[in-house]
Amino acid sequence: MTAILRATGVELSYGSQRALSGVDFALSPGEVCAIMGSSGSGKSSLLYCLAGVVAPTRGDVTFDGVPLRRLGDDELSTVRRERFGFVFQYGELLPELTVVENAALPLRLAGQRKAAAHQAAEEVLGRLGLAELRQRRTSQISGGQSQRVAVARALVHRPDVVFADEPTGALDSANADSVLAEFLSLARSQGTAVIMVTHDASVASRADSRYTMADGALTGRAAV
């Protein structure tokens, strides 16, 4: 199948610090992929490059056949906002907004009316066990609850690709399971591709493919 996302010879340096060295990677529509690897090996850096948050020092990333480096700033922002979903390693919810307002944000930014956006957000929140918290400000919920709100926000607009950096790091195994079930369900029903960084071997074992990052290089693909 044609890849929805492809990296070719991607290198990234932060000044003299090399974070990625010659990464080749391809993700198919509907594929849920897990990236493992030790701290500092380059996992977040890879996600940033693949998502067009950071431009690689060398090499190319293409999304849906188009090299990201060919897109202007506005086009790239639109792709990130409408076709990608993000769960960042350090949360990044808006604390003054409620749970449902945070989760509905991608739809509101795409111009959807409040009632429809909130209804869609509440459906995803319900599947992640957060229905009761929907009117709570996100400054007043726990770390694991915040992480699940971030997952709801990443999925609510049914993106083509979800980038998730340790999306289950703060969750017990039951809640980690429900996050993974949502990823798999969206992948199977909508063809959403998911790339997630995880330290949890049992989460990784349920992905369709697994890679290990070591010293900025991607190794050990194991497809199921």
Ligand X SMILES: Nc1ncnc2c1ncn2[C@@H]1O[C@H](COP(=O)(O)OP(=O)(O)OP(=O)(O)O)[C@@H](O)[C@H]1O
Binding residues for Mg ion, rule: CB under 5 A, are 44
Question: In the bound complex, what is the minimum distance in angstroms from residue 130's beta carbon to ligand X?
Answer: 25
Please give the DSSP secondary-structure letter assigned to residue 92. Answer: -
Q: Stretches 32-40, 64-72, 108-116, 137-145: which one binds ligand X (CB under 6 A)?
A: 32-40
Site string for ligand X, 62-81 (x = CB under 6 A): --------------------
Question: Using the rule CB under 6 A, is 41 a contact of ligand X?
Answer: yes
Angle, helices 143-155 vs 173-190, to 10°: value is 0
Whole-angstrom distance, CA of residue 83 vs CA of residue 88? 16
Q: Which of 50, 121 has the CB closer to Mg ion?
A: 50
Q: Which helix (H) or strand (E) holds 160?
A: none
80 binds, among ligand X, Mg ion, none (CB under 5 to 8 A by kind): none
> CA of 175: how far to CAs of 6, 31, 170, in Å?
30, 21, 9
DSSP assignment string, 19-61? EEEEEEEEE-TT-EEEEEE-TTSSHHHHHHHHTTSS--SEEEE
Q: Stretches 14-22, 23-31, 61-69, 126-134: which one binds ligand X (CB under 6 A)?
A: 14-22
Residues near ligand X (CB under 6 A) are 14, 17, 19, 37, 39-45, 89
